[in-house]
Amino acid sequence: MFKLTLFSILLIANSAAADISWESVAETIEADSAEKPLLFTFAGKNTGADTVTIKELRESCPCVEAMSDKTEIAAGESFIVAAEFSPFEIGGTQRQRIMVHFEEVDRPEILTVTAELPELIGIEPKRLFWNAKEEPATRKVEITLAVENGVELGDVYAMDENFSTLLVAESGNTYTLTVTPEDLSVRRPASVMVRFSVDGREMRTLIPCMIGERNPFEFSFDRAIPRPNGAQIKDSILRAGQTELQGADLKLGQRPEKDNSVSEAEQ
């Protein structure tokens, strides 16, 4: 019974949130171009009673590089997470996330960086997915050029032989792109290359194409997940039948004393 009780305490305690407060968890920077990286800073504070340790900073894209001014944060101490975001030349609103993982908890803190740039080329949808259990179907993509900024469309083609593309001009700045897979049993990452130029400067962007049973593009870090407090955790343990904890004054992170006495059967 002792092993089950201790396992329950550690399991539920590790799912709780770190006592970290942020001045802001989402920052936006407006820029005229994507020529230079954008610097974001997030100020945090350990509002708990114990020291916390940053185990890892994980970025949602290689275009973001995050760092912290310290890894061990004592109780009441402040710290900074800084991030350099190199947005894509395609322009428009671009958003990425930074997951701050702490040693003491399983669930990371999520920070969001957003770059607001003049949109040079609009692509909608930006990602394509096919369910492997369905029949191959054509997906349509609308491409819009900011011709007032000197944008011209170049080559558009699939980078995987399993996909075919067809580009149709709708107007002077609008195109319809159709993308069709040949075999939905071929499950490998693929993309459609879109080349364009701005005042003669060559640029490019990709439209990711995925085949599978689950759409990986539907995942969101914005999903709200309830985080239990200390009283809720203790109550959950007691209601789970851990009767020997009744009346005990346990705190998270505190181990019950193990009974090292030897029973008569063991003697």
Residues 199-239 have pLDDT tens digits of 888 888 999 999 998 887 775 444 433 444 444 444 544 44
Q: What is the pLDDT of residue 219?
A: 54
Residue 70 has pLDDT above 80, yes or no: yes
Q: What is the pLDDT of residue 212?
A: 93
Q: What is the pLDDT of residue 47?
A: 95
DSSP secondary structure string for all residues of 219-252: --TT-------HHHHHHHHHHTT-GGGTT----T
Residue 130 has pLDDT above 90, yes or no: yes
Q: What is the pLDDT of residues 18-48, one digit of tens each?
A: 689 999 999 999 998 888 899 999 999 999 9
Domain positions in the chain: 2-117, 121-217
Q: What is the pLDDT of residues 82-101, one digit of tens each?
A: 999 999 877 889 999 999 99
Fold identical between 2-117 and 121-217? yes
Residue 64 has pLDDT above 70, yes or no: yes
Q: Which CATH superfamily is domain 121-217 in?
A: Immunoglobulins (2.60.40.10)
What is the number of alpha carbons within 13 Å of residue 114 lying toward its C-beta? 9
Backbone dihedral angles phi then psi of residue 244, each to the nearest 5 degrees: -70, -10
Residues 53-79 have a mean pLDDT of 95
Assigned architecture for domain 2-117:
Sandwich (2.60)
Asked if 128 contacts 209 with a C-beta cutoff of 8 angstroms, the reply is yes
Q: What is the pLDDT of residue 104?
A: 85
Q: What is the pLDDT of residue 13?
A: 44
